[in-house]
Structure 1
Amino acid sequence: MKKISLLLLTILSFGSFRLSAQVVYSLQQLKDAAGKNSHQLAIKEYQVQEKISKLKEDEIKKYPAATLDGTYQYNFKLPDITVPAGALGSVKTGNGDTQLLPAQSSNFAVGQKGSYNVGLNLYQPLSQQFKINTGLEIDKTDIKLIQKEKEKTVLQLGLEIEQLYYGTLITQKQSEAEAARLELAKARLKDAEGALAAGKTTGVNLAGLRADIAGEEQSLLKLDIQVQDYLGELSRITELDLTGAKLMEAEPDNSVPEPVEAYKSSSFGNPDMEIGRLNKEKALLGIKAARQSNIPDIGIITGYYVQQGSPVLPPSSPYVGISLKWNLQDLFSNKQVQNQRVFQLKQAEESLIYTKRQIDSDIDKTWRKIKQSGALILAAKKLVAYRRDALKEQQDRQIAGLDIKTAMLETKLRLSEAEVNLYSAQLSNVIAIAELRNLAGQIK
């Protein structure tokens, strides 16, 4: 007996440990986990860093470009330069004779067989500074675009988690009502089997009652599968193992939403609106850059070279000058580039108008959903109050010994159904408010 008692105590202790060790997650914990583990956010962050690196790369183009070059050449045959006698003319000498210049034919070596030169060149662009600065503004706009896309991803992840979180809680609540229906169906079958065994009735459809039980079990299983699917999606987004985990019960949000116009005004901060404005700004900068491409490339070039092997050139020399490059064909092709940028600008403007109207329409739709949820909540509260009164009456009948078990179970079922409808309406209202905040670009 002692061994059996010890074994039972061990099993109970282990069971209570498992129960106490069950992890409970709140909505904020799930959001934090998604923000920390999301690969989408990691990709956006790497894209931001990539654009920042691109900005730093383009900033370097503002400063002098230094090039170091050198060559070495070995000549197997070197021709001589021959200067015939008298090639440079002649002069009179003091004794009256004529002296040829040179006096006799002379041979001069062109250079050495092995020759090399090394040079350091610096080029400082001048006229292209305007286009370079415009390019830097485009790079900065690209950084802002990626940051807004990251912000949009954060909002979408948060909304998706809220929808799954509250959807799971609603389904779990529906399971409670379904379990009550199953209990009632089993009680009816038991009463019918008892009445049939006592010979009190013969017209009992036992197969139909058993079918009702099977149907309720099937419905309960479907709800359980739906909960598992919700938790599976939450696990995918947050990268948490939610097997056997429990979601913290959510308190209905009783806060009154702002007027619909307030959300429409705030929607200018919606990431999609910000992205549309940045695309418009980028298109304007593109037009500016295309016009600046018509400016000729003027800059200062300076350097220093060292050479050996050519007697004609100095062994070393610094130099400075002005460089001019102008591709005249660009005057014609840039016109078409400007046209392309103008069409991109028009697309950005149309997209901005369309996005604003779409967001306003979605806000109106979500606002109607909130109003409808509010009406459903009021109706559900009224029904819950009546069902509780009915349960109290049934409990009074039970105390008086006038109660039938199935009648009590049926009353409890009706109350459970009313509470589920109230809970569902309240959480649906919370989801709608979250969607409204998301459309307004508000991060909660």
Structure 2
Amino acid sequence: MKSTILNRHFGITKLLAVILAISPFLASGQKQTLSLEQAIDQAKVRNRELRIDSLGIHKSAQQTAISRGLLMPNISLTGQFQHYFQRPVFFGLNGNANSEKIDYARIGGEDVAGAQVTLVQPIYNSGNRYEIQRRKLLEKQSKLIFQEKEVDVVARVKQNYVQQLVLAERLKLQTESIARNEKALKDSRYLLAQGKALRVDTLRAYTSVKNLEPDVLRLTYALQISQQQLRNLLGDVSETEYVLSDSLELNPSDSIPSEAGTYRLSVHQRPDLQILTLNKEINDKEIDLYKSARRPVVNFVSQYQLQTQTNQFKYGNAGYPPVFFAGVQFSIPIFSGNQHVNRIALGKIERQQADVIYNNAQEQLKTEVKQVLASLVESTERIKTQQNVSKTAELSYSITKYRYEKGVASRLELVDAEFALTTAKANYLEAVFDYLSSKIELDRVTGNVNAL
């Protein structure tokens, strides 16, 4: 009776576990095979964060073009019209400035109109030149920001891809473990029915199966979340289910680079360090720009003007005498409340700050390089160890299973051997994941966006 109820409960629970495990994939859209190289190429083209920074490059280039306009002539056309209800007043018509009463008269027409074409061509303004140079540096900086984001996005795509491969292997491993434990449970029930086994062995086998089922569900949902994260990285708004075509492969010929070489490569390649170097140049140009505000500004100015006056809006009979002039206009700053002096001092402080930030980044880079190389060495050694442990655990399980089938080993020994086998394989997968993650982090540290 109890055995029948146990069987029914086990069957229902197993069915629910299977439904929960496959339900996320049943709800997904069409499937698409995807290699790591394809994922990286698609992310470079369609990732939304990269598209934002790409627009930042165009924006910076447009601002550089705007600053170049400071060296070009400025031509403007202006016009005006006034109607006087009382004509303008002119004083001093009697020619006697000492008189108490100054005579005046209203001269001119009621309607006044005019138009001017003005040209202003900068001749000397050192600030314009420094501003253009600063904008070019900012444009270069926007490209480096894009490269930095590209390195980060590629690293995240690799990490997600490897994570899904490991999760799939873990899910496969758990499924195999459940299959082995279910077979052991079936054998226990068979032996219990024949009176050759204890009920406690059956209960222990049943408990082992049930303890493994939540892991299957957890790994399944972790795969579903990783798929969604991958779609976000690839800029995919659909519900495509990606079938990863690559596999977990380790190249035994891979050598761990030296710490000094990795550091030199990172300093040379990393976009963020290049940005910090560029910030120092930008600060220098800003100081030059502040200094230029204390220098004179010289412009060539020319204007052609037409003006007229009439009454009752009779512009057809009015005269349009032209006025034309050309000259040089200059401006010399004398005192501005010490603003220029204080701005120069501010620029020098920012320059010193940029030096400290760059030096601090270099020291932090040394720590990052040491840490990632140490992780590579540690995970490499752990892989070698876990490979041997996995082989030993497989052999131990095979021997224990054979002895159990012959009635020499106990059920508890078989459970322990199966648990040791599952644990050894899981530890090996964890070591592989840590090794590949360290490789990805090494590419990020060195600013390498192309390595697979």
Same fold, judged at TM 0.5 (above) = yes
1:34 aligns with 2:43: yes
Residue 188 of structure 2 corresponds to residue 192 of structure 1: yes
In structure 1, distance between residues paired with 2:359 and 2:93: 83
Secondary structure of the corresponding residue to residue 245 of structure 1:
strand
TM-score calculated relative to the size of structure 2: 0.79
Matched with 2:68 is 59
Alpha-carbon distance, 1:350 to partner: 1.2
Match of 1:112 in 2: 109
Q: Which deviates more from structure 2 when the two are superposed, residues 199-208 or residues 358-367?
A: 199-208
The alpha-carbon distance between structure 1 residues 207 and 386, as it changes in their structure 2 partners (threshold 3 A), is: closer
Q: Which residue of 2 aligns with 1:239?
A: 235
Change (3 A) 1:40 1:317: same
> Are residues 329 and 194 of structure 1, via their aligned partners in 2, closer, same or farther at CA, if it must alter by over 3 Å?
same
- Matched position secondary structure for 1:126: strand
Question: Which segment is superposed worse, 47-56 or 74-83?
Answer: 74-83
Judged with a 3 Å threshold, the aligned counterparts in structure 2 of structure 1 residues 223 and 239 are, in CA distance, closer, same or farther, namely: same
The CA distance in 2 between the partners of 1:402 and 1:207, in whole Å, is: 19
1:305–1:316 contact (8 Å) kept in structure 2 = yes
The structure number with the bigger radius of gyration is: 1
- Contact 2:48 2:235 (C-alpha < 8 Å) held by counterparts: no
SS of residue paired to 1:112 = coil
Alpha-carbon distance between aligned partners in 2 of 1:438 and 1:315, rounded to the nearest angstrom = 72
Task: Return the TM-score normalized by structure 1.
Answer: 0.80
Contact 1:294 1:330 in 2 (8 A): no
Structure 2's unaligned 5+ residue stretches are 1-29, 97-103, 311-318
Distance in 1 (CA, whole Å) between partners of 2:299 and 2:92 is 42
Does structure 2 retain, via aligned residues, the 8 Å contact 1:301–1:322? yes
Aligned CA distance change for structure 1 residues 162 and 81 (closer, same or farther; 3 Å): closer
Which aligned pairs between 1:189-228 and structure 2 lie closer than 5 A? 189-202=185-198, 204-228=200-224
- Equivalence map 1:21-420=2 (5 Å): 22-78=31-87, 110-128=107-125, 130-202=126-198, 204-240=200-236, 241=238, 244-248=241-245, 249-254=247-252, 255-268=254-267, 269-309=269-309, 315-330=321-336, 332-387=338-393, 417-420=423-426
Change (3 A) 1:370 1:380: same
**Structure 1 runs (4+) greater than 6 angstroms displaced:** 79-84, 391-395, 400-413
- 1:96 corresponds in structure 2 to none
Contact preservation (8 Å) 2:148, 2:272: yes
Distance 1:314 1:223, change over 3 A: closer
Conserved in 1, the CA contact under 8 Å of 2:73 and 2:121?
A: yes
Q: 1:358 & 1:44 partners in 2: Cα distance? A: 25
Distance 2:280 2:331 in 1: 32
1:363-385 C-alpha deviation (Å, 9 max, x unpaired): 11010000001111221232344
Counterpart-to-counterpart distance in 1, 2:83 and 2:341: 49
* Amino acid aligned to 1:316: P
User: What letter is aligned with 2:158?
Assistant: E
Letter in 2 for 1:293: A
Q: Offset at 1:236?
A: 1.9
**What is the aligned length?**
399
3-state DSSP class of the match of 2:376?
helix
CA distance 1:392–1:317, change in 2 (3 Å): same
Query: Which amino acid in 1 is paired with 2:59?
Result: E
Instruction: Describe the SS at the equivalent of 1:61.
Output: helix
Q: Percent identity?
A: 16
Once residues 408 and 136 of structure 2 are traced to their aligned partners in structure 1, the CA distance between those partners, rounded to angstroms, is 77
C-alpha contact (below 8 Å) 2:263/2:369 kept by paired residues: yes
